[in-house]
Chains A and B, each alone.
Chain A
Amino acid sequence: MRRIILGYNIGGALTGLKIKGVQHEYHVIDGVKESVIDMMLHFKKLRFAVDESVENQQWISQKFSKAGVFTSQDLKLPAGVSLLSEDVYLFEITDPSAEVVFDIRLERGY
């Protein structure tokens, strides 16, 4: 029972990130407080509940353009995917003219 609980109760997590204009993790995005590495570490904390009907791996596009603090609650998720993690801080846009466009790769655990 213990093995089943630990081994089979798996959620979805992010396994990839594509940020527009970013070619490596040491990049700094203009108008964003955090470095790309910090953003990646924040995205790593996210866990999702993924329905059986949803594909095992999918890319989800996101776009943030106004200044302010963005958390996991601000992510727009497709049907069948819901957030398990509490309010996780992701990044802060300090420049109102800045725009962060990124894709996240969501995978169901295995």
Chain B
Amino acid sequence: MRNRDQKDDAGDVATLLLDNDFGVVDYVKYDVEEVIEDFSGTTKDTVVIEVKSRYQGISPKQVIMFAGEVLASYAKLFIFDNAYIDRSALVEYNDLQAENEKLTEEVNIKTMPIDALPLSERTRNALIKNNILYVEDLEKKKKGELLLMK
């Protein structure tokens, strides 16, 4: 209760302010349960929502229905009927995956130690002496620099 009065224009009446909580739901609990559908072992998840409303005048079913309507209205924001979509900017999922795999492979090669390469003992020693320990270091050197190495 706010201990603050507002004098009314009429003079003998003051507005007594009440601070209030407008919520009508006490609590919401949810749990996801795995249910075995048949003997083949197929399973599906079931969401159990427990809602307790504070007042008799509003049922948990009404509460969930209202929340469902709100969620549906949010989902509508992502449905574009008349929107222009630039198809050229869209990337196929398979292409994207292949590109990612290629990049991962490149990174793996770059981080490979030179010990893993089929080099002669002399070449390997020369590279280590010149502080070239990974393929990445080797890649940075120019042909002339490599030829001068001993």
Contacts and interface: CB of A to CB of B under 8 A. Distances in A.
Interface string B52-77: 00111110000110110011000000
Name the prevailing secondary structure of the A interface residues: mixed
Interface stretch (B5-13, B36-44, B118-126): B5-13
A19 B71 contact: no
Contacts of A47: 22, 24, 54-55, 57
A11 interface: yes
B104 to A, nearest CB: 37
Nearest to B1: A40
16 contacts: A1-B67, A2-B30, A4-B67, A5-B28, A5-B63, A8-B70, A9-B58, A10-B24, A11-B23, A14-B18, A17-B18, A25-B3, A44-B1, A82-B57, A84-B24, A109-B23
Interface of B: 1, 3, 5, 7-8, 12-25, 28, 30, 49, 51, 54-58, 63-64, 66-67, 70-71
